[in-house]
Amino acid sequence: MPYYQTWEEFARAAEKLYLADPMKVRVVLKYRHCDGNLCIKVTDNAVCLQYKTDQAQDVKKIEKLHGKLMRLMVSKETHSGSMEMD
């Protein structure tokens, strides 16, 4: 499972994976204090997307994407359009 090198590629791929089948996608966040790394993994058991960072500005981006995905997952309406990445 390789890691994405750029945030933009990862965010685009994660959005596409979620919108393809929202019922199968799950998101995992893992922080390793000894390394100072935060890893986000988005998977549907067939495709696994990963991004790892130790930069504060990337942590904020991960937090924002994670929040948007969680809001989409708990909303009752269907999502045929794409998420807006501010």
DSSP-derived secondary structure for 9-69: HHHHHHHHHHHH-TTT-EEEEEEETTTTEEEEEEE-SS-EEEEEE--HHHHHHHHHHHHHH
What residue ranges define each of the domains in the chain, with the CATH number in brackets? Answer: 7-67 (3.30.720.10)
Answering whether pTM is above 0.95, one says no
Q: Over the stretch 47-80, which tens digit does the pLDDT of each residue have?
A: 999 999 999 888 889 889 988 888 888 886 655 5
Calpha distance 26→78 (Å, rounded): 17
Task: Share the mean pLDDT of the chain.
Answer: 86
